[in-house]
C-alpha cells in the first residue's frame, strides 16, 4: 500500500501533512530569517503550502558569508592554506595525499602503521617528550588515515601556533621508526583491529569495499589484515614515507585566529627541506573498477544480519557530487530508539524508506552512506536487523532508490536541503573547518566555501533529484553484501533476482516479500 501511495502525486498538501504543521508557523510570504535564531528554520514544522521555507535558489542568510581564505604554494610544492576568523584557539594540520590506496598487497596496512609511528619519537623528541609538550600546551594532537589521505593536526591556543608547527614538522620529517617501537605499536594496532571488528558497521563496510573494488587496493582494509600487520617491518615503513611524503603531495592548513603570511613563513622554515617530487612511480593511479556482485559472509555466532546495498556514484570532481550530498540527506539515517514512534504515522514519517522499515519491526538501524574519492565513489545503504528480515533489508536498499527515479516527494527534498544547511552552519570549530578544507585542496586544488555548497544545493528540486535517481539507479547493477548467520544469508537468493528489481517500481514480486 505504501508503494502505491508513493506513485500518486499529490496536487496539494494532504490533510495528514497539514496536521504536522505547527500553528505557530507564519505564512510563507511572511516568513523571514532572523540571525539570532537561524536554527529554528530547519525544524520539520515549517512546511508551508509551497512545501518549503525558502524559494528555489535562495539560501539562509548566515550561509551567504564566507571567511577570508588564502592559499600559497611553497617552492617545494607544499600548498599552505589558511582561513581566518577571530577565535580563542587555532588549528594547524598537515594533509598527506596518500593512504591505503597507495599500498601493495604485501605492504597493506603500512600507511596506518606509519601514522602511529609518527607519535613514537623523533631525533629531537622522545615519545614521552612529545606527549608532555602537547599536554603542557593544553593542546590536542590527533591523526587519522583514510583510503586516499592522511591527516595530522593540532588544536592550540593562538600564541602557540609556532610550537604546533614545530611539533608537526618534527614528527613528519625526523621520526626514527625505531624497531622496538614498531614491535610495541604492532600489538597496539592488532588490538585496534580487534576492536574495529566488533563494530558491525565498520566491519561490513570493509567487506563492501572488498566486494566492489576487489581487484584494486581500494578494496583492502585500511588497517591491513592480521598477517600483514605481523609482517610489516621498518623497510616498508621507510619506503612508504619516502615515496609519499613529498611536497607536491602535502597541504598545510591553518584555521582560526591565524595570519597567512606568518603561517607561510613557519611552513617554509619547518617544511622547506621536504623534497618536491616523488622519487619513484606512484602506485594504483588507475581508476578502480566498480564490481556489481553479491557477497555473503557467514557467521553462525551472530543472531542479527548486516546488509550493505551500494551503487557506483560520482566522485569529488563530478557535476552530480552536490546532488548526491542532498540525496544522502533525503534517505537520512534511522535507529529504532529514536524513530520508532514515527514509523507508523504517515504525517511524521521522515521519508519513504523509513516508512518501509516500519513494516519490518526487527530492523533496528539504517544508515545512508556516500563516500566520494578522487576518481570513484560508492553510495548506498547499511541495514542492521533480525536475520529473518535479511532478504527484505536487501530489497529496501534498492526499492526506494528505484521508486525515487519515478517520483520524488517535494517535502522530502526540502527537509533534506534544510538538514544540509543546518549541517553546514554547524561546521564552525577550527578543527572541523580544517578537516573540510584539506580534502578540497587535495582533490580540487581550491576552497569550496559552505556558501557555494549551499548555493549549488539550493537549485536542486524534486524534478532534478527524480531524474538523478533514474539515471543512477534504474536498471543499475548494485553491489550487495550480507554478513550474518546462515539462515539469513541463505535466504537472500541470487544476484539475478535483485538485478531484476532495479528495472521496475511496483510488482507482485515486490509485495510477495512482505507476505
pLDDT(41) > 90: no
Burial class (CB in 10 A: 0-12, 13-18, 19+), 93: buried
Condensed to tens digits (0 to 9), the pLDDT of residues 239-268 reads: 999 999 999 999 999 999 999 999 999 999
Residues 6+ apart with CB under 8 A from 101: 147, 148, 216, 217, 218, 284, 373
Contacts by residues 433-437 (CB-CB < 8 Å, ≥ 24 positions apart): 433/83, 433/91, 433/255, 434/91, 434/92, 434/93, 434/153, 434/253, 434/254, 434/255, 435/93, 435/151, 435/153, 437/81, 437/83, 437/253, 437/255
Q: What are the pLDDT digits (tens) for 458-513?
A: 999 999 999 999 999 998 999 999 999 977 777 777 777 777 666 654 443 443 44
| 150-157 β-sheet, strand order | 69-73, 79-84, 250-256, 89-96, 150-157, 140-145
Closest CA to 217 of 283, 315, 282, 135: 283
Residue 67 has phi, psi (to 5 degrees) of: -85, 150
At residue 214, the 3 state secondary structure works out as: coil
The candidate with the shortest Cα–Cα distance to 134, out of 157, 151, 112, is: 157
pLDDT digits (tens, 9 = 90+) for 290-316: 999 999 999 988 989 999 999 999 999
Q: Is the pLDDT confidence value at 23 over 90?
A: no
Tell me the pLDDT tens digit for each residue of 167-209.
999 999 999 999 999 999 999 999 999 999 999 999 999 999 9
Range 479-512 burial, b when 16+ CB lie within 10 A, else e? bbbbbbbeebbebbeebeebbebbeebeeeebee
Predicted structure pTM score: 0.86
| C-alpha distances out from residue 380 to 34, 261, 406, Å | 36, 43, 18
Tell me if residue 474 falls in helix, strand or coil.
Answer: coil
Q: Would you say residue 74 has pLDDT above 80?
A: yes
- Would strands 363-372 and 333-335 be described as parallel, antiparallel, or unpaired? antiparallel
Residue 343's pLDDT is 53
Answer positive or negative: Cα dihedral of 353, 354, 360, 364.
positive
| pLDDT for position 456 | 97
Grid cell 490533510 in the structure block, residue? 15
* Predicted pLDDT at 341: 61
Range in 61-65, 155-159, 349-353 the model is least confident about: 349-353
Q: What is the dihedral of CA 336, 338, 339, 340, to 10 degrees?
A: 50
pLDDT of residue 113: 98
C-alpha cell at 283: 602506485
Phi/psi of residue 312, nearest 5 degrees:
-65, 140
Output the pLDDT for position 270.
Answer: 98
Confidence of residue 49 (pLDDT cuts 50, 70, 90): very low
Identify the CA nearest to 74 among candidates 328, 329, 246, 322. Answer: 246
Which residues have C-beta within 8 Å of that of residue 443, sequence separation ≥ 6? Answer: 316, 317, 374
Percent of the chain with pLDDT over 90: 67
pLDDT in tens, 109-133: 999 999 999 999 999 999 999 999 9
Q: Shortest CA distance to 498 belongs to which of 399, 377, 401, 403?
A: 399
**Residue 293: how many other CB atoms lie within 10 Å:** 15
Q: What are phi and psi of 256, to 5 degrees?
A: 105, -145
Domains of the chain: 69-271 (3.30.830.10), 290-512 (3.30.830.10)
Report the relative pairing of strands 79-84 and 69-73 from DSSP bridges.
antiparallel
User: Which pLDDT belongs to residue 344?
Assistant: 54
User: What is the pLDDT confidence band of residue 54, given thresholds at 50, 70 and 90?
Assistant: confident
Q: What length is written for the chain?
A: 515
As annotated, the active-site residues are 115
- The residue assigned the cell 544508515 is 367
Among 90, 200, 79, 217, CA closest to 146: 217
Secondary structure tally for the chain: helices H, strands E: 21, 12
pLDDT the model gives residue 20: 34
Q: Which residue has the higher pLDDT, 279 or 194?
A: 194
Q: How far is 200 from 384, CA to CA, in rounded Å?
A: 8
Mean local confidence (pLDDT), 278-289: 85
Contact 54, 461 (CB under 8 A): no
DSSP 8-state assignment for residue 55:
-
Summarised one tens digit per residue, pLDDT across range 408-446 is 888 889 889 999 999 999 999 999 999 999 999 999 999
- Rounded Cα distance between 375 and 143, Å, is 24
What mean pLDDT, rounded, does the chain reach?
A: 85
CA distance 130 to 90: 19
Most confident of 56-60, 180-184, 346-350: 180-184
Q: What is the secondary structure of 365-382 as a DSSP string? A: EEEEEEEE-SS-EEEEEE
pLDDT score of 276 more than 60: yes
What DSSP character marks residue 126? B
Amino acid at each position: 500500500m505504501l508503494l502505491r501511495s508513493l506513485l500518486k502525486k499529490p496536487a496539494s498538501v494532504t490533510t495528514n501533512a497539514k496536521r504536522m504543521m505547527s500553528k505557530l508557523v507564519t505564512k510563507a510570504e511572511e516568513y523571514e530569517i532572523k540571525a539570532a535564531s537561524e536554527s529554528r528554520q530547519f525544524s520539520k514544522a515549517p512546511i508551508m503550502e509551497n512545501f518549503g521555507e525558502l524559494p528555489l535558489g535562495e539560501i539562509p542568510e548566515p550561509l551567504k558569508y564566507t571567511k577570508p581564505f588564502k592559499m600559497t604554494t611553497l617552492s617545494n610544492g607544499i600548498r599552505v592554506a589558511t582561513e581566518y576568523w577571530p577565535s580563542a584557539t587555532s588549528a594547524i594540520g598537515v594533509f598527506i595525499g596518500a593512504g591505503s590506496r597507495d599500498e601493495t598487497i604485501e605492504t597493506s596496512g603500512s600507511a596506518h602503521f606509519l601514522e602511529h609511528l609518527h607519535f613514537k619519537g623523533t631525533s629531537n623528541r622522545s615519545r614521552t617528550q612529545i606527549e608532555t609538550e602537547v599536554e603542557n600546551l593544553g593542546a590536542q594532537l590527533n591523526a587519522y588515515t583514510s583510503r586516499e589521505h592522511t591527516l595530522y593536526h593540532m588544536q592550540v591556543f593562538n600564541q602557540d601556533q609556532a610550537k604546533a608547527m614545530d611539533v608537526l614538522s618534527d614528527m613528519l620529517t625526523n621520526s626514527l621508526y625505531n624497531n622496538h617501537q614498531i614491535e610495541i605499536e604492532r600489538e597496539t594496532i592488532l588490538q585496534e583491529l580487534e576492536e574495529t571488528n566488533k563494530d558491525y558497521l565498520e566491519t561490513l563496510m570493509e567487506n563492501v569495499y572488498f566486494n566492489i573494488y576487489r581487484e584494486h587496493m581500494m578494496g583492502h582494509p585500511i588497517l591491513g589484515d592480521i598477517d600483514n600487520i605481523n609482517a610489516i617491518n621498518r623497510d616498508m615503513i621507510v619506503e612508504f614515507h619516502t615515496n609519499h611524503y613529498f611536497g607536491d603531495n602535502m597541504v598545510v592548513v591553518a584555521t582560526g585566529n591565524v595570519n597567512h603570511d606568518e603561517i607561510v613563513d613557519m611552513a617554509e622554515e619547518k617544511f622547506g627541506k621536504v623534497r618536491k617530487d616523488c622519487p619513484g612511480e606512484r602506485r594504483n593511479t588507475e581508476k578502480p573498477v566498480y564490481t556489481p556482485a553479491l557477497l555473503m559472509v557467514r557467521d553462525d555466532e551472530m543472531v542479527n544480519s548486516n546488509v550493505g546495498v551500494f551503487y557506483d556514484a560520482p566522485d569529488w570532481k563530478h557535476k552530480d557530487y552536490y546532488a548526491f550530498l542532498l540525496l544522502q540527506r533525503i534517505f537520512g539515517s534511522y535507529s529504532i530508539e529514536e524513530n520508532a514512534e514515527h514509523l507508523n504515522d504517515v504525517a511524521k514519517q521522515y521519508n519513504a524508506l523509513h516508512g518501509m522499515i516500519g513494516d519490518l519491526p526487527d530492523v533496528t538501524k539504517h544508515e545512508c552512506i556516500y563516500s566520494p574519492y578522487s576518481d570513484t565513489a560508492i553510495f548506498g545503504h547499511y541495514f542492521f536487523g533480525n536475520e529473518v528480515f535479511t532478504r527484505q533489508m536487501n530489497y529496501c536498499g534498492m526499492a526506494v532508490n528505484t521508486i525515487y527515479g519515478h517520483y520524488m516527494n517535494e517535502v522530502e527534498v526540502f527537509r533534506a536541503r534544510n538538514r544540509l544547511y543546518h549541517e553546514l552552519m554547524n561546521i564552525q570549530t577550527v578543527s572541523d573547518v580544517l578537516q573540510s578544507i584539506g580534502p578540497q585542496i587535495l582533490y580540487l586544488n581550491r576552497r569550496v566555501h559552505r556558501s557555494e555548497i549551499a548555493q549549488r544545493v539550493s537549485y536542486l528540486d524534486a524534478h532534478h533529484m527524480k531524474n538523478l535517481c533514474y539515471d543512477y539507479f534504474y536498471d543499475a547493477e548494485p553491489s550487495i553484501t550480507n554478513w550474518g548467520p546462515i539462515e539469513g544469508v541463505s535466504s537472500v537468493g541470487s544476484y539475478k533476482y535483485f538485478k531484476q528489481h532495479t528495472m521496475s517500481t511496483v510488482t507482485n514480486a515486490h509485495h510477495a516479500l512482505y507476505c
